[in-house]
Structure formats: structure tokens, C-alpha cells
Amino acid sequence: MTKEKIKSVLESLMFVMGEPLEAKTAAELFEMPTADIVKIFRELAADYEERGSGLCVREMDKAFQLCTNPENDDYIRILCTPVREKKLSQSSLEVLAIIAYKQPVTKSQIDAIRGIRSDRVLESLMKRGLIKELGRSDGVGRPYLYGTTRQFLELFGFESLSELPEIEDADSLVLEDEDFEEPVPDQLTMPV
């Protein structure tokens, strides 16, 4: 076997191991003296360094490990720092609960239960893929009907909506569209 082939195999072994590969173990694989394998490992390390590779071979007490080049640590840290996901706000959880229990449900029904408009919350939940439009109601103005998605089930650990915890009198929470009238102010009042 050529020295280049041995280097290739050593690279593969170090990559797969992930932890330091003992020179003695590698020498046994190739049926070579340990000193000769150490020499080849060191040549491989020099090859990486010479070409300015993003990888390097690190030696630790006659064990060798394939590592990233320390000069690239800042970039690796940026990529590998976990992205912090925003938690759902209280209003998002309220709207999500209403939709989960009463779907399909219209925006006006959600607003009636909450006593406040839910436009932005609905938009946010849709962007997160937790709710979706299921079609249109037959009610006045044919408003959109909302329901939860498979992603909602996955996020909350449910296999189906039947696993939602039971709540008392959930049916009384939602008004029919015709029972809901959005308040219209007679006039705008401005603080003095």
C-alpha cells in the first residue's frame, strides 16, 4: 500500500472515530511499526497545514485527531450557536387554544372570546406554521376558518386533537358569527 493510500485511510479513520486515534491501533491495522505510522500521521498534519486547510491533525501523546483549524473558530462558533426560538406569548397561546378546541373557527369568533382583536396573533401563528386557513365560513362575509396544523401536534406532543385535555363547557366559549357584532365607535376621542 502506498503512503498516500495510508494517509487517505488514516483521514477516514480519524473522521469516523471523532476522538483521538492511537498510533498503536493504526499501526496494527496496517501491520507496521508504530514509529512509522506516527511519521505518516505527522506528514499528513504537515500536508493540511501547508495547504491552509480548514481541517488539521492534532497530536496528543501518540494519538491523532482530525480537528477544525483553530483560525476558523469564530465562524464555527457563529454557525453552531443555537438559534434561540421565541416562546409563544400569552396571547398566542390563548388564540392557539381557542383554535385547537373549536376548529374550524373564524377570526370574529376568536376576537369575541378574547375581547380583543387577534389579527397580528393569527398572522404570527400562521408564519410559525401552527395554524392554517381551512376554507371559508358560510356566514356573512364568508370569513376564513382557522384550524391547527400537524406542526402544532408535533410541537405540543399530541398524536391527534383527541388528546387535547378536556375543558368544561368549551362549546359556550364560541359565539356564532351572526351573534357577534364588532363594536363601532360613535366618534373618536382624543386625550386632552
pLDDT tens digits, one per residue of 67-107: 999 999 889 888 877 666 678 889 999 999 999 999 999 99
Q: Do residues 180 and 109 make contact, with C-beta atoms less than 8 angstroms apart?
A: yes
What pLDDT is attached to residue 176?
A: 47
| Sign of the dihedral defined by the CA atoms of residues 70, 72, 78, 80, in that order | negative
Q: Which residue has the higher pLDDT, 190 or 42?
A: 42
| Beta strands per DSSP E along the chain | 21-22, 55-59, 63-68, 105-106, 131-136, 144-148
pLDDT at 155 over 70: yes
Domains in the chain, CATH or no CATH each: 3-80 (1.10.10.10), 90-179 (1.10.10.10)
- Amino acid identity at 112: A
Q: Do residues 99 and 130 make contact, with C-beta atoms less than 8 angstroms apart?
A: no
Q: At what angle do helices 3-17 and 23-30 cross, to 10 degrees?
A: 130
Closest CA to 145 of 186, 177, 115, 167: 177
What pLDDT is attached to residue 168?
A: 67
pLDDT classification of 169: cutoffs 50, 70, 90: low
What pLDDT is attached to residue 84?
A: 62
pLDDT tens digits, one per residue of 99-122: 999 999 999 999 999 999 999 999
Q: Which residue has the higher pLDDT, 167 or 37?
A: 37
Q: Distance between CA atoms of 27 and 132, rounded to whole angstroms?
A: 60
- Mean pLDDT rounded to a whole number for the chain: 84
What pLDDT is attached to residue 85?
A: 64
Which pTM does this prediction carry? 0.47
pLDDT classification of 185: cutoffs 50, 70, 90: very low
What pLDDT is attached to residue 181?
A: 44
For residues 98-129, b (16+ Cβ closer than 10 Å) or e, as one string?
A: bbbbbeebbbbbbbbbeeeebeebbebbeebe
For residues 61-83, b (16+ Cβ closer than 10 Å) or e, as one string?
A: eebbbbeeeeeeeeeeeeeeeee
